[in-house]
Each structure stands twice: as C-alpha cells, then as structure tokens.
Amino acid sequence: MLNNSQIYMLTSEDQELIEEEKKFYSEISDYINDILDNSFIEPIKDYELTIYSILYRIDELLDVLCVMTENSLINAGFLVLRSLLELTVQLEYILINEESREKRAIILQLFDIKRSFKDSSIFYERISKYPIYERYINVFIDQENAHFSNWYSYCEEKKISLSKLFDIVGWKQIYNNLYQPLCIEAHQINHMETNIVPQHHKMNFKPFRTFENHILLLDSMLSIMKLSLHRIITIYGDEQHKKNWNIYENKLDSYLTNNHALAQIEKLLNPCIKYFGTNINQSESTCGTGKV
C-alpha cells in the first residue's frame, strides 16, 4: 500500500483522519450488508433484484473509496463519488414512490436487457414469455420511436435528464451543491502537477490538499449515504434496524454539522472547495413524492 511504502508524505493529522474515515466506511458497509443479507426475503421478488443489485454496487463503490482513502488517492476518489451519487439518486427514484416501485425497477431490467438485442422484435418475442416483463413491455412498444437514452425517461414517458431526476426525488440542492461541483472536480480541475519534494534523502510526493480533501470526500459520502440508507432502512429494515439507524443518523448529523463549520473556513483558503456544499439539508431525506 502506498502509505506503507512512504511514497506520500502524510502528516499526523492525515494519518489520524484516515483511521477515522475507515471506521465510517466500515460502519456504513455493515448497515448495507446487514440489509442485503437479512432484509430481502427468499424467494426474492423479481423487481427487488434491481434494488438488491444497485445496493450491492453502492457497497462496492464504498469499498473502492475506502481503499483510495487508505492509500491517500483522494483526488481520484471524487470520480468514484460521482458514480456513487448517480447510483443513489437512481435508487431513490425507484424507492420513493411505493406505487411505482415495481414498474420503475422492472423497466430498468428491461432497458438493460433490450440493449443486448440487435433485433428488437426478437427482444419483444422472448421477453413477453415472462409474466413479470409482459406487464410492462408496452412501455417500450408505445414509445418505440422515442429511443430514450435512459430507463427513467421510459418510466416518465418523456425525455428526462439526470438533473431532472434529482428534481423528481427532491434532491435539487444536492445536484447544485454536490453533483455539479463533482463534474467540475472531475473535468476542469488540474491535479496532474508532480509536486515532488525531497525528504530524508528521498524524493516523495506531497499530497494535493490531502487533509482538506479527505474531509470533503468523507462529508460528501456521508451526506449521500445518510439520505440513501434512511430510505432503504425505512422500507426494508426491521424495528431493530430502524432503532439502530436513528441513533447512528444522529451521530452523522452531529459530525456533519461540526465539519461544516471547518469547511466554511476552508472555503476562504481553497478555491476548489468553495464549489462544494457540505451542509446538505436534513429535510431532503423526506422530500419528493414519497414519504418516510
């Protein structure tokens, strides 16, 4: 691992923060894996396979972020964070409305399957043999000429952008304060300077804004997962899950509030961090068309 080989120069603050972050990643992963292992009753419903799959992929991305954190690859972590946010908003879109939950999840399955068929007539012929798919196949047939580029446009029966999807689930503030800055971080900010410095007769890399970006990455991840897990546990958790989560959610609120004060100071010093909104409004977990 990079830290152990001393390629990076890490301050004591950096090292302490890495250990703190690893605990958060472990705790969040424990909640997700507990839901995956115990809350989907066998035989799992067809549409719930989509929910299970997205939640599993979220857990994988968190694992990647944790590895990046341990190795101080924080700037590259923002690319993964962007994918994590895209997955969580799509999961929220599926879960937020109980009446539309099955439809949205199955249409996502159909959309993925359809893309693997060059001949759409063969796709319709084969898929119509499955009762669960037959129920929603007309969504594609009725909009055959639309050729929407994403599955949620088929769900809405009109062209929907990702930014509009954030609006639908009530996460507009997150789109403005987090998703858009993540796009800037990924495509417009240059992290490629070598920044090599001598230390103890050896040439090392000095991390780019490591301490500040550690906090920024962690706060952003926690803000995203707080909203997502609130919804998941409300729907799939048992009473003990919900009780444990309420206690843990209060811990996250306190941590994020304290770090927000630090972030406000940092925004005066760091031209990149000013784009990020780390204080996600707690009320966003209950806005949109669904209620928790």
pLDDT digits 0-9 by tens, 8-31: 667 787 788 889 999 999 999 999
Predicted pLDDT of residue 182: 83
Enter the tokens of residue 111: 């959309």
Predicted pLDDT of residue 240: 92
Of 82-86, 155-159, 254-258, give the lowest mean pLDDT range.
254-258
Asked if pLDDT for residue 74 goes beyond 50, the answer is: yes
Higher pLDDT, 180 or 279: 180
For the residues 128-144, what does the mean pLDDT come to? Answer: 84
The Cα–Cα gap between 133 and 114 comes to 12
- % of the chain surpassing 90 pLDDT: 45
Q: Model confidence at 177, in pLDDT bands (50, 70, 90)?
A: confident
Of 112-121, 208-217, 225-234, 280-289, give the lowest mean pLDDT range.
280-289
For the residues 238-250, what does the mean pLDDT come to? Answer: 94
Continuous H helices in the chain:
2-5, 12-38, 46-70, 74-95, 101-114, 120-127, 131-134, 138-141, 151-156, 162-168, 172-174, 180-187, 210-236, 239-269
Q: How many CB atoms lie within 10 A of CB 88?
A: 24
The Cα–Cα gap between 292 and 286 comes to 6
Predicted pLDDT of residue 213: 78
The Cα–Cα gap between 48 and 40 comes to 8
For the residues 105-117, what does the mean pLDDT come to? Answer: 90
Q: Model confidence at 124, in pLDDT bands (50, 70, 90)?
A: confident
* 36-61: pLDDT as tens digits: 999 988 889 999 999 999 999 999 99
